[in-house]
Structure 1
Amino acid sequence: MFRNWMKILLIAIPSLVTFATQTVTGTINLIMVGQLGFVIIAIVGVSNIIMYNAFAIFSGIGHTINYLVAQNFGSNDMRKGIQRTYMAMYLCLFFAVVLLAVGWLGANHILRWTGGSEELVRQGGFYLELRFYAMSFGIINFAFHGFLRGIGSTTMSMVVSLISNLLMIFLTYSLTFGNLGFPQMGLTGAGLAVLIGEALQLLICAYIFFFVLHKRYQTRSRIAFSFSWPEFKLLSQESGKLGLQEFSLSVSMFIFTVFVARLGDHALAANEVALNVMSFGFMPAFAFGATATILVGQSVGRGMALLGRRAGTDTAILGTIFIILLGTVELVFADQIAHLYSSDPGVYELAAFLIKVSAYLQIFDGLLNFYAGGLRGIGDTTFLMRISFFLSWFLFVPLAYLFIFVFHWGSLGAWIALYTFLTVFGTSVMLRFYRTDWTSVRLKEAAHV
């Protein structure tokens, strides 16, 4: 068992650092721009939710490449893995153009649809436009990282993430407030920092894939450019299912934010602060979930699915330990943490209360990610799509509306609805993982489509 846990940690820790870097970057940036006022905090919070929705639509491509390449790596058929990665990049490039157009033409309208104040829309329109431009690079980066995780190279993925996110922090500090000789650009500077950081990350990822990994995997070989309709169909269908899974969750979170926005800008800002702090709990959830996908997928590729089931269980145990430790820190220091984001009592007092409420409930979000990662590893994407769609629209959204507008429970009611949803979702995915007939699990092939 010790050897298995060490193997899991060697893969999970770099992934944890990667997600932690992204989370810490978002936290530091929010703290910095938060000094501009609670309206700016609300703008960044709403923009984050909108970007989460935009990302979710296309995230299935990266998730699909992650598990397919993991299976190809396990079966020692990386020629097919490279070919699938190229076709994923073609899809990403097309959708990147779509995101550019949406940001250019519709940023103000989308921000207005959230129901925020006119002041929020006026100050936040161009910032959201810049975030759309950054996301056009981000979906391509996510596919590259999916490939790196698929081959087990989580350390390389970590290094790329560290470089780009450190640049984002530096530019946010410099461009937002005019430090170190840079122009003072306010919220626009913060948006440019994200855009430049994502663009640099794309350049680094491309260099790694086309040059660093070429000698080992022949990433620039002619066969990689060959087009296979069955493989493209497989990639599109799997990406669509995983994208719909994420999109159902993200749209329901968007509606949740719209509901909270009706409670006022202070409530919206406090909600964003609490969600940002809770994102530290998402770090081990995402990291160990990605690790489960890698280990399960590679085991399936080797024809040893039952070992993948054991690896998925061990990964969930270790991830839960991390979340419990983190939740304890958040519970004890909730007031001090919330005060870092805002000096407005109406914001930090409510945010601290929400942090305390959810400190240990985030364990269920962990279970969702751990076992969903394992199910992705075996290609059980149809179930993930269906359960996400059903619970998002027939449990989460109705409960949020009921608790906020009918029972008038305010922000607490909103978060009770959120964690009821995550508890049911996480438990359902865990049960599916253990009720699967692992002796019948096979490598995902295009012929099966």
Structure 2
Amino acid sequence: MSTIQTSSDSFGVKRILQISGPVFISLMAQNIIGITDTAFMAHLGEVELGGAGMATLVYFCIYTLGHSLGTGTQIIVARRYGAGQHDGIGRVLSQSFIMLVVSAVILALLGGWIAAPLFDAILSSKALSAVATEYMDIRVWGYLFAFISVVFRAFYLGIARTKVLTYNAFVMAIINIFLDYALIFGHFGLPAMGVRGAALASVIAEAGSLLFYLTYTKYKVDKPTYGMTFKAMRVIDLTLMRTTLRLSVYLMLQALISLSVWTVFFILIEKLGERAMAIASIVRSFYILIHVSTSAYGTSVSTAVSSLIGANQSERIHKSLRTVAGVSLMTTVSICAIIMMFPEQFLRIFTDDARLISETIPSLWVICIAMTISSVGNIYFIAVSATGATSKALSIEMATIIGYLIYSLIVTLWAQAPVHICYTVEIFYYALVGWLSYRFISTEKWRDAKWSQLT
């Protein structure tokens, strides 16, 4: 039975890149899907762009519930992997599978039911509300496939076997981009469905993603080694379910609150007009694209910290975090530099409107500054949860979100500031999150048993 490396460089730059590199590529491929969706919607019109963008935000607010349960599962898998308890991983996955399938069915049904009244309530533009509802009515069925895929993602991240995520992302991207083009505009004999076509393309792509995971796992994974046998996985372990939920519930609340408040930010932007909403939707694509590197390195943080604790090598956590933060910073600065050297060329992917391009560039500068701060701050924030102190991560998130909301209300409703001024709220958010997280990790308060949801 193999165990994690114990040499001093097991989580050095090379190992970090081995884990994060494939995740980076997979997330980049996934975000190409988002950029393609945004570009296609922009060519349909500013209302379609803003409406579909708002629906996508709501979709991912709900998706965070499943994703957070997957993150909790990943932490437990990595802890068992680091401790050499490989044959206990299958049971962890099976309990998560049960919880995620039940959640997916409930959320898909609930999401379709509340879409119309929700968008009518939060959006002042009836045109935007109609488009958002049209998109969401189809998009919610993606939960059935996406939530199950979360289990596989947690497994491969937990055992640091991340190349499969790259393969999966490319499969998903190819399916989504092809069907986007075909179903939105009506090519290759398929009907022109507009916004509904974009939603359907995403659902089919998520189904293709799940099919890939199932096929790859069947033929490429030594299932008995990881306890992934029918005998081991058929048992319903309520104790393990409670442990997973206890760890994940804070992650769920943290992610749900964070994304919900981000959605509120865009609702406030919408009050400034459809042009402001169009600018914000385009900038959001760059925000997510630049954030890919930090997210990728964040997965290596979760795996590294959990594995080192599981292997009783927690004294090496600080060095690993400094290394990851340094690599993350350099990567983000490089991406931002490329974008800001050619801002107009990048923006022409979304629109040919010279005025819209000109009004969007200042917001790009603000987002690049925010993402540079995030590249370090978010690494330490992820590390807080990776130690098992998910309740502390939630308290950090809550403290920061209160300030974020107050700041957002001031710059939008009171000052009615330009979009780029409104986006400075992201600089405030990541600076405060990073500082609070660094203090918690550097003082080693996570060692206190009261913070751990794994004890």
Shorter chain as denominator, the TM-score bin is over 0.9
Instruction: Provide the rounded CA distance (Å) in 1 between the counterparts of 2:83 and 2:450.
Output: 11
- The 1:56–1:116 alpha-carbon spacing in structure 2 relative to 1, beyond 3 Å, is farther
Match of 2:385 in 1: 376
Instruction: Provide the rounded CA distance (Å) in 2 between the counterparts of 1:438 and 1:382.
Output: 11
Offset of residue 444 of structure 1: 7.1
- The 1:353–1:165 alpha-carbon spacing in structure 2 relative to 1, beyond 3 Å, is same
The amino acid of 2:209's aligned partner reads: Q
Match of 1:163 in 2: 171
Deviation per residue, 1:238-259 (Å, 9 max, x gap): 1111111111111110110110
- The 1:444–1:69 alpha-carbon spacing in structure 2 relative to 1, beyond 3 Å, is farther
Indicate which of 330, 348, 353 corresponds to 2:339.
330
Correspondence 1:262 to 2:271: yes
Question: Secondary structure, in 3 states, of the residue corresponding to 1:35?
Answer: helix
Match of 1:238 in 2: 247
In the alignment, is the contact (CA less than 8 A) between 1:367 and 1:430 conserved in 2? no
Question: Secondary structure, in 3 states, of the residue corresponding to 2:349?
Answer: helix
Correspondence 1:64 to 2:72: yes
Which moved further from structure 2: 166-175 or 208-217? 208-217
Match of 1:181 in 2: 189
Deviation per residue, 1:42-78 (Å, 9 max, x gap): 0121112112211123322011011111111111112
In the alignment, is the contact (CA less than 8 A) between 1:59 and 1:242 conserved in 2? no
Offset of residue 433 of structure 1: 2.0
Q: Output aligned runs, 1:37-186, within 5 Å.
A: 37-186=45-194
In the alignment, is the contact (CA less than 8 A) between 2:298 and 2:382 conserved in 1? yes
Question: Secondary structure, in 3 states, of the residue corresponding to 2:155?
Answer: helix
Indicate which of 10, 13, 16 corresponds to 1:5.
13
Question: Secondary structure, in 3 states, of the residue corresponding to 1:359?
Answer: helix
Give the number of aligned pairs.
446
Which moved further from structure 2: 146-155 or 133-142? 133-142
Deviation per residue, 1:89-134 (Å, 9 max, x gap): 1111111011211233122222223314111222332211222111
Match of 1:363 in 2: 372
Instruction: Provide the rounded CA distance (Å) in 2 between the counterparts of 1:323 and 1:292.
Output: 16
Instruction: Provide the rounded CA distance (Å) in 1 between the counterparts of 2:95 and 2:201.
Output: 30
Deviation per residue, 1:371-393 (Å, 9 max, x gap): 2232232212111111112211x
Which moved further from structure 2: 174-183 or 432-441? 432-441
- The 1:437–1:402 alpha-carbon spacing in structure 2 relative to 1, beyond 3 Å, is closer
Offset of residue 210 of structure 1: 5.1
Correspondence 1:272 to 2:277: no
In the alignment, is the contact (CA less than 8 A) between 2:73 and 2:154 conserved in 1? yes
The amino acid of 1:75's aligned partner reads: A
Offset of residue 187 of structure 1: 1.5
Deviation per residue, 1:206-254 (Å, 9 max, x gap): 3344554224423124122223332211111111111111111111101
The amino acid of 2:356's aligned partner reads: V
Instruction: Provide the rounded CA distance (Å) in 1 between the counterparts of 2:344 and 2:361.
Output: 5
- The 1:64–1:439 alpha-carbon spacing in structure 2 relative to 1, beyond 3 Å, is closer
The amino acid of 1:81's aligned partner reads: I
Match of 1:415 in 2: 423
In the alignment, is the contact (CA less than 8 A) between 2:380 and 2:438 conserved in 1? yes
- The 1:124–1:245 alpha-carbon spacing in structure 2 relative to 1, beyond 3 Å, is closer
Deviation per residue, 1:330-353 (Å, 9 max, x gap): 222222222321223453222222
Which moved further from structure 2: 189-198 or 424-433? 424-433
Match of 1:220 in 2: 229
In the alignment, is the contact (CA less than 8 A) between 1:378 and 1:442 conserved in 2? no
Match of 2:409 in 1: 401
In the alignment, is the contact (CA less than 8 A) between 1:296 and 1:309 conserved in 2? no
Which moved further from structure 2: 87-96 or 104-113? 104-113
Q: Output aligned runs, 1:293-304, within 5 Å.
A: 293-304=302-313
Indicate which of 190, 207, 210 corresponds to 1:199.
207
In the alignment, is the contact (CA less than 8 A) between 1:342 and 1:348 conserved in 2? yes
Instruction: Provide the rounded CA distance (Å) in 1 between the counterparts of 2:409 and 2:370.
Output: 21
Instruction: Provide the rounded CA distance (Å) in 2 between the counterparts of 1:162 and 1:434.
Output: 38
Which moved further from structure 2: 341-350 or 18-27? 341-350
In the alignment, is the contact (CA less than 8 A) between 1:96 and 1:139 conserved in 2? yes
Instruction: Provide the rounded CA distance (Å) in 2 between the counterparts of 1:307 and 1:408.
Output: 48
Give the TM-score normalised by structure 2.
0.92
- The 1:189–1:439 alpha-carbon spacing in structure 2 relative to 1, beyond 3 Å, is closer
Offset of residue 435 of structure 1: 1.8
Q: How many percent identity over aligned positions?
A: 17
The amino acid of 1:294's aligned partner reads: T
Instruction: Note the residue ranges of structure 1 that are not aligned, 5 or more in a row.
Output: none
The amino acid of 1:91's aligned partner reads: M
Which moved further from structure 2: 218-227 or 254-263? 218-227
Correspondence 1:25 to 2:33: yes
Instruction: Provide the rounded CA distance (Å) in 1 between the counterparts of 2:28 and 2:442.
Output: 29
In the alignment, is the contact (CA less than 8 A) between 2:297 and 2:324 conserved in 1? yes
In the alignment, is the contact (CA less than 8 A) between 2:378 and 2:433 conserved in 1? no
Which moved further from structure 2: 276-285 or 349-358? 349-358
Instruction: Provide the rounded CA distance (Å) in 2 between the counterparts of 1:2 and 1:323.
Output: 23
Indicate which of 297, 314, 322 corresponds to 2:323.
314
In the alignment, is the contact (CA less than 8 A) between 2:54 and 2:132 conserved in 1? no
Instruction: Provide the rounded CA distance (Å) in 2 between the counterparts of 1:434 and 1:378.
Output: 13
Deviation per residue, 1:18-63 (Å, 9 max, x gap): 1111111110221123211111110121112112211123322011
Off by >6 Å, runs of 4+ in structure 1: 438-445
Which moved further from structure 2: 181-190 or 65-74? 181-190
Instruction: Provide the rounded CA distance (Å) in 1 between the counterparts of 2:400 and 2:245.
Output: 24
